[in-house]
Structure 1
Amino acid sequence: MRKLSTRRRHPMALLALLALALLLTGAAYAAVAPEPATAEASPASEIDAGRQLFVVGCASCHGLNAEGITTAGTDGKAGNYGPSLIGVGAAAVGFQMETGRMPMAQTAPQAPRKANEYTQEEIDQIAAYVASLAPGPARPSDDDLNWQDVDPEGISKGGEFFRTNCTACHNSVGAGGALPSGRYAPTLKNVDAIHIYEAMLTGPQQMPVFSDEVLTPEDKRNIIAYVKTVQQQGNAGGIGGGGLGPVVDGVFAWILGIGGLSLFAVWIGMHGTRSKKR
């Protein structure tokens, strides 16, 4: 014990203790840290074909090397004509191009969904090129999209996640809604599962990004299962009003209900029995 106590008073003891603490901290971080992202590896021929398509159809907005194009804004501040695509991954390309949002027909606050202008092979080639530029979100696998096998408990969890994170913009049943500055949250009706997944993964337009660290692939699959299950349900009460919520239901009640009664009262007043004084 005397020998150990003497060693503790040695001038190098503090440095040795600090080095040991740093070593243990580094080892603990290495054990729990997520794996670094890597760019997707695709055949060189597919990447080259994707670059050729990109130069023709995308470079005018996003730059020859997908670095983006910056322009002067109307208020004197720098604005984005086309954002950089470095690091957005194949998932962003798949979502934007398969839904027809890209290329945009005209500059607008938001890119609307429209008919697709590229074949699936061409989209895959452009996605391979963009994915080769830098690490980014990959397209989901078939297991990630297998929402049909989600059990009722998973659907319930998906509903909780959806109501907490999505209903403020997309409505409680995914019917969509208006947002400021001419933007809107699109309806999720008849949207493919892969595009719902990729939207959560990449955060297109004003939508926040829900990475796998925020919502796991299982959570995303549960959310998709909830949205699809709700959309397949009928309206047991009759007219559903589009599922847009109590405000719209109230508008229907006032316009059709109170308005109809008011018109009926006016009609009665105009066609009722009239009496004349002699």
Structure 2
Amino acid sequence: MKALAARRRHPAALIALLVVGLITVGGLFAVLSPMQRAQAGAPQVSAQDVEAGKKLFLANCATCHGANGQGTKTGPSLAGVGAASVDFQVGTGRMPLAAPGVQAQRTEPVYFNQTQIDQMAAYVTSLGPGPGIPDEKYASGQGGNIARGGEIFRVNCAMCHNFAGSGGALTRGKYAPPLKDIEGKHIYEAMVTGPQSMPVFNETNLDPEAKRDVIAYLHFLDKNENPGGHALGNFGPVGDGFFFWLIAIPVMLGAAVWLGKKAA
């Protein structure tokens, strides 16, 4: 009995217990973490995909980002940006960059098809782990709580993108782009990667369900009609004032002058 108690008090027993505890907690976190849930539907990649992606990368991206994705003076390092960043930047036509500027413009992705984008994403992921392509369960917005998504959007996003997702100006020539008719996958990827001046909303800030609610809200706005006539871009009183000062008031003054001359 005394020998058993001595073994329990042995320093090695404490270390072994600590190691077992860490392995157990780490395993549970890997299985149950929101990141794993959000990426459960991501496409599986192979060594062939990585090799094909590397060839595409060297031919189209290495000039700015370096032969090994380490970055250069004209392009940042891609280690750790993850597949989500590649899918967003290339899938929305922002990359390859059409022309130098303070902000990459969204265009039609004419250079690569989705298979090629996935291959480049696989190669960039091999440079360092990062956010993966989200599961369609969350990225589609289907089943999301529109009202909750609206609340989350107004608290976290409306100051830049406008309450209706119409976009807005930022500093030094940058801007928050409009969010109308954006694929849910790309909205989700933008939230987890933080392109341009946008902050990163990782799984600790907004879990996958919250992101799905935001996507559901934005898709609801896509279908929402304006019963009051032309929406003027949904920019609120600024847009209304611009319209009245530059168009409506001059038209009314011109009509008044014309009527006065007719009466005379």
Higher helix share: 2
The one-letter amino acid paired with 1:223 is V
In 2, the alpha carbon distance for the partners of 1:146 and 1:243 equals 24
Percent identical among aligned pairs is 47
RMSD: 2.5
Work out whether 1:88 is the aligned partner of 2:81: yes
> Do the aligned partners of 1:146 and 1:221 also contact (CA within 8 Å) in 2?
yes
Q: Map of 1:8-87 to 2, 5 A cutoff?
A: 30=25, 35=30, 42-70=45-73, 81-87=74-80
2:252 to 258, 261, 270: 261
In 2, the alpha carbon distance for the partners of 1:46 and 1:182 equals 38
1:237 to 214, 228, 234: 228
The one-letter amino acid paired with 1:97 is V
The offset of 1:261, in angstroms, is 1.8
In 2, the alpha carbon distance for the partners of 1:103 and 1:187 equals 21
> Do the aligned partners of 1:68 and 1:85 also contact (CA within 8 Å) in 2?
yes
The offset of 1:33, in angstroms, is 9.5
Q: What is the TM-score normalised by the length of structure 2?
A: 0.82
The offset of 1:42, in angstroms, is 3.0
Corresponding residue number in structure 1 for 2:6:
none
Work out whether 1:168 is the aligned partner of 2:159: yes
SS at match of 1:173: coil
- Which consecutive unaligned segments of at least 5 residues does structure 1 have? 1-15, 71-80, 274-278
In 1, the alpha carbon distance for the partners of 2:90 and 2:209 equals 25
> Do the aligned partners of 1:171 and 1:245 also contact (CA within 8 Å) in 2?
no
Work out whether 1:217 is the aligned partner of 2:208: yes
What CA deviation, in whole Å up to 9, does each residue of 1:49-100 have, x standing for no partner?
Answer: 1111111100000000001003xxxxxxxxxx10000000000000000111
In 2, the alpha carbon distance for the partners of 1:42 and 1:231 equals 33
The offset of 1:120, in angstroms, is 1.3
The offset of 1:111, in angstroms, is 0.5
What CA deviation, in whole Å up to 9, does each residue of 1:174-213 have, x standing for no partner?
Answer: 1111112111111111111110110011001111100111
In 2, the alpha carbon distance for the partners of 1:115 and 1:226 equals 24
> Do the aligned partners of 1:163 and 1:172 also contact (CA within 8 Å) in 2?
yes
Q: Map of 1:184-195 to 2, 5 A cutoff?
A: 184-195=175-186
What CA deviation, in whole Å up to 9, does each residue of 1:97-124 have, x standing for no partner?
Answer: 0111000011110000112111211111
In 2, the alpha carbon distance for the partners of 1:173 and 1:235 equals 12
2:217 to 210, 223, 226: 226
The one-letter amino acid paired with 1:85 is L
Q: How many residues align?
A: 237
The one-letter amino acid paired with 2:116 is E
List structure 1 segments (4+ residues) > 6 angstroms apart after TM superposition. none
What CA deviation, in whole Å up to 9, does each residue of 1:244-273 have, x standing for no partner?
Answer: 222101222333332222112221333322
The offset of 1:32, in angstroms, is 11
Structure number with the bigger relative contact order (C-alpha 8 A, sep ≥ 6) is 2
The one-letter amino acid paired with 2:184 is A
Choose 1 or 2 for highest CA Rg: 1
Corresponding residue number in structure 2 for 1:142:
136
Corresponding residue number in structure 2 for 1:180:
171
Corresponding residue number in structure 2 for 1:247:
238
The offset of 1:234, in angstroms, is 0.8
The one-letter amino acid paired with 1:170 is H
In 2, the alpha carbon distance for the partners of 1:64 and 1:34 equals 35
SS at match of 1:149: coil
> Do the aligned partners of 1:173 and 1:231 also contact (CA within 8 Å) in 2?
no
In 2, the alpha carbon distance for the partners of 1:31 and 1:129 equals 26
Q: What is the TM-score normalised by the length of structure 1?
A: 0.78
1:111 to 98, 104, 107: 104
